[in-house]
Amino acid sequence: MEILLLNILNGLSWGMLLFLIAVGLTTVFGVLGVLNFAHGSLFMLGAYLCMQTMQLFDSFWLGLLIGPLCAVFVGLLIEKFLLKRVYGRDVSFQLLLTFAVLLILDDAVRVIWGSGYHVVEPPAILNGIISVAGQDYPVYRLFLVLIGPLIGGLLWAFFHYTKWGKIIRAASFDNIMAEGVGINVPLIYTSVFALGTWLAALGGALAAPQQSLIPSMGEKIIIESFIVVVVGGMGSFPGAFVGALMLGLLESFGTVFAGRMQMAIPYILLAVILLVKPTGLFRKGV
């Protein structure tokens, strides 16, 4: 029983991180039509920049605030100078361009911060162990379990109750041609990419105290975020949420029932969902 609860908590905390990455990825895809291979690298960049800010100001919270904003600056450069040129072009070109960005970012981080591990301490208030149903559990993971829905709720409110959010939703989820209603489309694209970058980098900053920082940390998470996005339905906000929780929980329980083969779980999930519902769980047939 305790094991069950711990697995659920582990699954949820991992799922919430996946959700933050995936929701940015899916929104960028929904609006810009580009599946960003470098999204995981922006996650990684967020973690490193958070670490760097922490070292400067000695505050995790400042790192959480400033780190992702610095990453957004990098994201803006990427959108303005690279991505802008491949909108509407063949999928293979878009994937390859963002893959090139991935290679550049990963190696650049390796050059700047070295290829070894870095560790970020959680802030004092979240550092430590708490007793959950008689078992010891890190406080920081509980914090992740709570912060995920909080950010998700704020995003949901943003998409449903603000003008900008509604415009983005119109341009993405409802497939309305935004240009027809007199909206500045390039500005929307840029801001959506900035939002996506910020979410990825925020995810990275939040993940920093929980996992060791290495330049390749983005490569693992990008594949899993792809799976979340495709499983949930590309461009779907609720899809990203449900997909991330499904994958997080499945992977957590996979360690119990699948042993070594738990590595295959995300891909089996992907294959099964695409076979049953080719457009993903939350996207209507084209």
Q: Closer to other proteins at the Cβ: 35 or 213?
A: 35
Q: Closer to other proteins at the Cβ: 95 or 170?
A: 95
Distance of CA 210 to the CA centre of its chain: 15
Query: Cβ of residue 85: shortest distance to other proteins, in angstroms?
Result: 5
Query: Cβ of residue 158: shortest distance to other proteins, in angstroms?
Result: 26
Query: Cβ of residue 247: shortest distance to other proteins, in angstroms?
Result: 12
Q: Closer to other proteins at the Cβ: 129 or 264?
A: 264
Query: Cβ of residue 173: shortest distance to other proteins, in angstroms?
Result: 17
- How many helices (H) and strands (E) the chain has is answered by 10, 2
Q: Closer to other proteins at the Cβ: 101 or 208?
A: 101
Interaxial angle between packed helices 139-161 and 237-257, expressed in degrees from 0 to 180 and rounded to the nearest 10: 160
Q: Closer to other proteins at the Cβ: 141 or 283?
A: 283
Q: Closer to other proteins at the Cβ: 55 or 115?
A: 115
Query: Cβ of residue 35: shortest distance to other proteins, in angstroms?
Result: 5
Q: Closer to other proteins at the Cβ: 25 or 54?
A: 25
Query: Are 71 and 197 contacting, i.e. CB atoms less than 8 angstroms apart?
Result: yes
Q: Which of 30, 37, 133, 19 is nearest to 78 (CA)?
A: 37
Query: Cβ of residue 97: shortest distance to other proteins, in angstroms?
Result: 5
Q: Which of 260, 187, 196, 186 is nearest to 229 (CA)?
A: 196
Phi, psi of 75 (to 5 degrees): -60, -40
Query: Are 212 and 48 contacting, i.e. CB atoms less than 8 angstroms apart?
Result: no
DSSP 13-77: HHHHHHHHHHHHHHHHHHHH----TTHHHHHHHHHHHHHHHHHHHS-HHHHHHHHHHHHHHHHHH
- What three-state secondary structure class fits 87? coil
Tokens standing for 239?
Answer: 């899809």
Binding site for other proteins (CB under 8 A): 35, 82, 85-86, 91-93, 95-97, 99-104, 106-108, 110-111, 219, 223, 226-227, 230, 234, 260-261, 263-264, 266-268, 270-271, 274-275, 278-279
DSSP 246-260: HHHHHHHHHHHHTGG
Query: Cβ of residue 260: shortest distance to other proteins, in angstroms?
Result: 4
